[in-house]
């Protein structure tokens, strides 16, 4: 059984994960509008991944006998200066999510909820991967100046990304 503190924090994280999905979908729409279809696809895959994260937590709360309490999702930003600005926002957002996950782990340790600590380890590992992937993409975008044939090549590469649920 989840403590009330852990249950509340997990519900907050579910909301944060759905917001992340919504933010990436908004970025996908923006990138589509500026004809970066490959990057729009990349963000659409990111949207699917964040929905998966939210539902993984949702299912965990229910499995542990908790109550899921969904809240309104904040309206995401919908305009950016350019592709580099988009990926700087993605990196900042992923760093924020990492902090939220780390805070959840700390709370679970304080509450002596070892099952939740174990469950959250998957998310800790996932955030390391998320930040690394976004940092690499941002560095490549900066190398090509966010334009020209380099941007075209990165856009084509981003078009190849597909979301598939990780093996359980």
**pLDDT score, position 167:** 74
Mean pLDDT of 92-103: 98
User: Which residues, 6+ apart, have CB-to-CB distance to 153 below 8 Å?
Assistant: 144
pLDDT class of 166 with cuts at 50, 70, 90: confident
**pLDDT tens readout for residues 4-63:** 999 999 999 999 999 999 999 999 999 999 999 999 999 999 999 999 999 999 999 999
**pLDDT tens readout for residues 58-88:** 999 999 999 999 999 999 999 999 999 999 9
Mean pLDDT of 110-117: 98
In the chain, % of residues over pLDDT 70: 99
- Residue 95: pLDDT over 70: yes
In the CATH hierarchy, which fold is given to the domain comprising 4-158? Ferritin (1.20.1260)
Q: How far apart are CA 93 and CA 105, in angstroms?
A: 19
Mean pLDDT of the chain: 97
- Residue 168: pLDDT over 70: no
Domain ranges in the chain are 4-158
Q: Which of 51, 34, 32, 33 is nearest to 42 (CA)?
A: 32
Question: Integer distance in angstroms from the first to the last C-alpha of the chain?
Answer: 22
**pLDDT score, position 48:** 97
CB 84 within 8 A of CB 147: no
């Amino acid at each position: 059984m989840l403590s009330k503190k852990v249950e509340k924090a997990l519900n907050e994280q579910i909301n944060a994960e759905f917001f992340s999905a919504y933010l990436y979908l908004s970025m996908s729409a923006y990138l589509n509008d500026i004809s970066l279809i490959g990057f729009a696809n990349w963000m659409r895959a990111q949207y699917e991944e964040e929905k998966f994260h939210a539902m993984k937590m949702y299912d965990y709360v229910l499995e542990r006998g908790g109550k899921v309490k969904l809240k309104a999702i904040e309206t995401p930003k919908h305009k950016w200066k350019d592709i580099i600005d988009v990926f700087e926002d993605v990196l900042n957002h992923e760093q924020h999510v990492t902090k939220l996950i780390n805070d959840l782990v700390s709370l679970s340790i304080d509450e002596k909820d070892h099952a939740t600590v174990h469950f959250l380890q998957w998310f800790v590992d996932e955030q390391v991967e998320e930040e690394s992937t976004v940092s690499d993409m941002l560095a490549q975008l900066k190398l090509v100046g966010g334009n020209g044939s380099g941007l075209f090549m990165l856009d084509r590469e981003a078009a190849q990304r597909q979301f598939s649920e990780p093996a359980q």
